[in-house]
Amino acid sequence: MPHLIVEYSANLAGYPEAEALAALNAAVCASPEVKDEADLKTRFVHTSAFEIGTAPANRAFVHAELRLLAGRTPQAKADLAERVAAVLRRLTPRPAGLMVQLSVDVVDMDRPSYVKERL
């Protein structure tokens, strides 16, 4: 069931999306929380324009949102977030002169109303 959505600012050109997708899925599916590897649906969504803060600084971000059915323990959620962070920490470009922020947001999805099926 997990959904993983990754965004990054456009000044991180050359982001290795394909490598990141494979590494993210390997890392998250290795968690005991993921019962079936086919459940993890990871994608990149592009942002069209961005601005970080108000100071005239060279800044970039990469952000991941991991959406899971509610009911995980806080420990399990923190472990999953760290699995995602570890991949992004390793693969995110760090152009000279750019301050890059990394963040991971774990979201509980409403279990009773969630629909999931294979067509």
Q: Which residues bind its own copies (CB under 8 A)?
A: 1, 3, 7, 9, 17-18, 21-22, 24-26, 29, 36-55, 57, 59, 61, 63, 67, 74, 77-78, 80-82, 84-85, 89, 92, 94, 99-110, 112-119
> Distance (Å, rounded) from C-alpha 91 to C-alpha 86?
9
Distance, C-alpha 85 to centroid of its chain: 7
The continuous run of DSSP H or E covering 101 comes out as strand 99-109
Residue number, 32 or 110, with CB nearest to its own copies:
110
> Distance (Å, rounded) from C-alpha 77 to C-alpha 33?
9
Least distance from its own copies to the Cβ atom of residue 74, Å: 5
Least distance from its own copies to the Cβ atom of residue 65, Å: 9
- Here the tokens at position 91 are 């693969």
Least distance from its own copies to the Cβ atom of residue 114, Å: 6
